[in-house]
Structure 1
Amino acid sequence: MKTRFILASAMIIALFTSSCSNNDDTHTNNATNLQSITEEEKAGLLFMLEEEKLARDTYIYMNNLWGLNQFNNIKNSEQSHMDAIITILEQNNIEYTILPEGEFSNQNLQNFYNQFIIDGQVSSESALQIGATIEDLDIVDLEDYINESSNESLILTYENLQCGSRNHLRSFVSAIENLGFTYLPQFLTLEEYEAILNSNREQCN
């Protein structure tokens, strides 16, 4: 299980950067004809399902709290991310459980959600910082799983999810900057982060 989500709440509130977000185009329905899934890949899928749920549930809460377009739009994309992973799990007869909103079987993810809910109430800027941090983490975790897999269908799905997360990151960063703040990458290298921001919004499959 890989969670690099070891970010303290103070760091989250201290983050800086922005976004004007729109719908993210990440309907990844390309998980057909999968090669056999290894136990390590299975564990990765189950973890990423909950990490995408963390994003969805957090954005639902922040949208209800602040009513920002970024959260309203991106929460729907996070559901499509979850659906893409569920497709692979079901095609491979892998059992999974989706707990109620705000509940996670992974205790680290549960702790982060609980902290995000506290930190996100501070200001709309803090809420946007949390969104950027989640996308920052997603991109890095997905890259790790891509590098560890030789399963072409799985890699393609993860790459499409990454594409969506890059668009999400651009949106959150744009919104943060519009408020006069900055986001500092927590998981991506500065070079990787700047390459994403300096490139155009992507059309994801």
Structure 2
Amino acid sequence: MRQALFDFWDPLFRARGEFVVSPGNAGACARLEAWPAWSAGCLVLVGPEGSGKSRMAEDWAARTGALALDPRQPDTASARARPILLEDVDRGFCEEGLFHLINLAPVSGGLLMTARTPPASWPVRLPDLRSRLKAAEAALIEGMDDAVLTGVIEDFLRARGIRPSADLAPYLVRRIDRSVSAARDVVERLHEASGPDHRPVSRALAREILGDETENLDLFDI
């Protein structure tokens, strides 16, 4: 039985020098590099799933010595002497704890948050916290562009030990959804289709597994 790709493996977690900087994330990367010169010491990375915000946030935390806390139960006592990272804040957070961390940010070394939605849209009961979030600086990351999606596909292929033809990744970029899950799925299908005889993983094999969905697009490959 073939071993499935590890669920926790994220193709965007590469060495810092290999991270794909593209037009969709360049602005957010620049704001991370500007630390600690953030408005009121806070920055929110906002982007869809698979956009690389967790990779960027963990890279920042490693560079700054930041402490990652659970936004639902943040240990605010440990936030007085070092930068703080809160991930996926829009999925749930303690309002009192978040308000306290935002107030500490200018003197604690900074507060970085990640979310799929802008902070002004988060449901909040505390008026003072609502005003803080509306004023918080947000760095937007767009969905995957060609450069990032190509890098994701190539990383999944590499994780499988697959050496594809040079034209495979560009071909797939034009045919799959722009998400980590879609890239993972197509690489798994290619891996299975290669079979025990290790058929070459090429554009021809990709056309075979994608079927009729791509046949009408062949003119764009000329």
Bigger RCO (CA 8 Å, 6+ sep): 1
Judging by fraction of residues, say which structure has more strand: 2
**Considering only CA atoms, is the larger Rg found in Structure 1 or Structure 2?**
2
- After TM superposition, the score normalised by the length of structure 1 is 0.29
Judging by fraction of residues, say which structure has more helix: 1
- After TM superposition, the score normalised by the length of structure 2 is 0.27
